[in-house]
Amino acid sequence: MEYLTVRETAKKWNLSIRMVQQFCIAGRIPGAQKFGNSWAIPADAEKPRDPRSVRKQAKPPASNLLDSAGLMPLMNTPFQPGTCMAAVRAMEAGPQRDIAWAEYYYFTGQPEKAVRAAAAYLTGPDMGAQLSACLIYAYANLSPPDPARPLCA
């Protein structure tokens, strides 16, 4: 069996030397053997798929749904002080913007509006929106009552 060096394999596969070394270390090249500090790679070995491209393909198609990484979209959006409302308005219509409005209402001292905005997302298929809505809904309902409004009439 004929073997190639990491450098030769990198040139053959149009990859960096470091990437070929990483494939060898990870055991992604069948038949690759380490001799001291060098790798011997079978000349007929097939180029492994780049794990970064596999992850990209594994992602679901882009949608307007929030995922667990997108919880509390307004808190996770950079904006200049004083431009919060503009940041919300700039978001694409859908759950992300609706939850951002609920956040805006909560953080501007409007818990009743925050509860109403979040309530629509307390149930539904979008887990990110549901979790965000639950957080906003719970915190908005914990807000201290308005001292000018009596608790009981």
In the chain, where are the structural domains located? Answer: 3-54, 68-141
Sheet with 33-35: list strands edge to edge.
3-4, 38-42, 33-35
**Model confidence band, residue 54 (pLDDT cutoffs 50, 70, 90):** low
Instruction: State residue 3's pLDDT score.
Output: 93
Higher pLDDT, 143 or 2: 2
Comparing 16-30, 46-60, 113-127, the range with the smallest average pLDDT is 46-60
* Contact in structure between 87 and 77 (CB atoms under 8 Å): yes
Q: What is the DSSP string of 61-104?
A: PP-S---GGG-STTTTS---TT-HHHHHHHSPTTHHHHHHHHHH
Q: Is the pTM of this model over 0.85?
A: no
Task: Give the amino acid at 14.
Answer: N
Provide the 10 A C-beta neighbour count for residue 41: 23
> Could you give the CA distance from residue 5 to residue 11 in angstroms, rounded to a whole number?
10
Is the confidence at residue 151, as pLDDT, over 50? no
pLDDT more than 90, % of the chain:
28
Give CA angle at 123 (118, 129), nearest 5°: 55
H or E segment to which residue 38 belongs = strand 38-42
Structure token digits, residue 53: 């491209």
Instruction: State residue 153's pLDDT score.
Output: 42
Task: Give the amino acid at 143.
Answer: S
- The mean of the pLDDT values for the chain is 82
